[in-house]
C-alpha cells in the first residue's frame, strides 16, 4: 500500500510517519530526511539541497524526483511506502503517479494533517532533535527527558530551517506550491483529512482509522 502524508511544515508528518510505520510495517520515506542524510555524508546532492533548505525553498523538482524514484525502485519499497514530505508540487505528484502506474501500483490514500499557521509557528520554534539518533522532540509539548536523556546524551540540536525567517518562507512556499495538491488528490477521490491539533496519540489513532478505511 502506498500512502502519502500531506500537510504544512511542522504539522507532525514526521512524528506520525515514524509511529505509523512501526504500527503498520510500511516503509517510511521522508525526502527531507534523505536530503539531511546526504548533507551529513557530504555528498554533492546534500550540499546542493542545503542551499535551498536553509532558505525554506523547495529543492528543484528534477533533483527531488530522481532521488525519490530511485529509492522506490529498490526491493524494500515493493510492498508499499509511507511518503512524508513528498510529493510537494503537482509535478512531483504526477511523476509519482506515473512511476507507480508503471509498476502496476497506485496511491491508496493521501492523508492531510490539518494544522493552523499559529500552531505551526509554535511547534517549529520549539523543535529539537537528538544529536545522535535524530529522534524529534519539542521543548514544551514533548520535552527530551532530562532524567534519562535520549541516547544517553543531553545534546539536542535545532534545524537551520527552524529559524523564524525560514519558517515564514516555508509556510508561504507550502501555500503556493504544495497546497494545490489538496485539490489534486481530492479530484481522485483519495483524500482523507485528520485534525492535527490534537495530542500526538489522538492524531495517530485517526490516521490508523483512515488507513483501515482504505485497506479493508
- Binding residues (CB under 6 A) for ligand AP5: these are 7, 9-15, 30-32, 35, 52-53, 56-59, 64, 85-86, 88, 92, 123, 127, 136-138, 141-142, 161, 170, 199-200, 203
Q: Please, which residues bridge with residue 194 across strands?
A: 113
Of 13, 23, 40, 123, the active-site residue reads: 13
What is the rounded distance in angstroms from the CA atom of residue 59 to the CA atom of residue 189?
28
Does the annotation count 94 as an active-site position?
no
User: What's the CA gap between 194 and 190, in Å, rounded?
Assistant: 14
Measured from the Cβ of residue 205, the count of other Cβ atoms closer than 10 Å reads 12
Q: What SS3 class is residue 137?
A: strand
Q: Cis check for the bond before 87: say yes or no (omega within 30 of 0).
A: yes
Question: Which residue in the list 88, 94, 122, 190 is annotated as catalytic?
Answer: 88
CB of 83 to ligand AP5, least distance (A): 9
Nearer to ligand AP5, 120 or 191 (CB): 120
Q: Is 159 a catalytic residue?
A: yes
Q: Minimum distance between the CB of residue 120 and ligand AP5, rounded to whole angstroms?
A: 8
At residue 115, the 3 state secondary structure works out as coil
Nearest residue relative to ligand AP5 (C-beta): 32
- We find the least distance from the C-beta atom of residue 165 to ligand AP5, in angstroms, to be 13
Nearer to ligand AP5 among residue 31 and residue 110 (C-beta)? 31
In whole angstroms, what is the distance from residue 90 CA to residue 83 CA?
15
Q: Which is nearer to ligand AP5, 36 or 211 (CB)?
A: 36
Query: Could you tell me the end-to-end alpha-carbon distance of the chain, in angstroms, rounded to an integer?
Result: 12
Which residue in the list 122, 159, 163, 190 is annotated as catalytic? 159
- Work out the angle at residue 88's Cα, subtended by the Cα atoms of residues 87 and 92, and round it to the nearest 5 degrees: 55
Clarify whether 127 is annotated catalytic.
yes
Can you name the residues that pair with 3 across neighbouring β-strands?
82, 109
Q: Which is nearer to ligand AP5, 140 or 215 (CB)?
A: 140
Q: How far is the CB of 147 from ligand AP5 (least distance, A)?
A: 19
Catalytic center residues: 13, 88, 127, 159, 170
Amino acid at each position: 500500500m502506498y500512502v502519502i502524508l500531506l500537510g504544512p511544515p511542522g504539522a507532525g508528518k514526521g512524528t506520525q510517519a515514524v509511529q505509523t510505520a512501526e504500527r503498520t510495517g510500511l516503509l517510511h520515506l521522508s525526502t527531507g530526511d534523505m536530503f539531511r542524510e546526504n548533507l551529513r555524508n557530504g555528498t554533492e546532492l546534500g550540499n546542493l539541497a542545503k542551499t535551498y533548505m536553509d532558505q525554506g525553498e523547495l529543492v528543484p523538482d528534477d533533483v527531488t524526483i530522481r532521488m525519490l524514484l530511485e529509492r522506490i525502485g529498490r526491493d524494500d519499497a515493493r510492498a508499499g511506502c509511507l511518503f512524508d514530505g513528498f510529493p510537494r508540487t503537482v509535478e512531483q505528484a504526477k511523476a509519482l503517479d506515473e512511476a507507480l502506474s508503471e509498476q502496476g501500483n497506485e496511491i491508496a490514500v493521501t492523508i492531510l494533517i490539518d494544522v493552523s499557521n499559529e500552531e505551526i509557528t509554535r511547534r517549529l520554534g520549539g523543535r529539537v532533535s537528538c544529536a545522535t539518533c535524530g529522534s524529534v522532540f519539542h521543548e514544551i509539548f514533548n520535552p527530551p527527558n532530562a532524567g534519562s536523556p535520549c541516547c544517553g546524551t543531553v545534546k539536542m540540536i535545532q534545524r537551520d530551517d527552524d529559524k523564524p525567517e525560514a519558517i515564514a518562507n516555508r509556510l508561504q512556499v507550502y501555500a503556493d506550491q504544495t497546497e494545490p495538491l489538496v485539490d489534486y488528490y481530492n479530484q481522485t477521490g483519495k483524500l482523507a483529512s485528520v485534525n492535527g491539533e490534537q495530542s500526538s496519540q489522538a492524531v495517530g489513532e485517526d490516521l490508523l482509522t483512515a488507513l483501515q478505511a482504505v485497506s479493508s
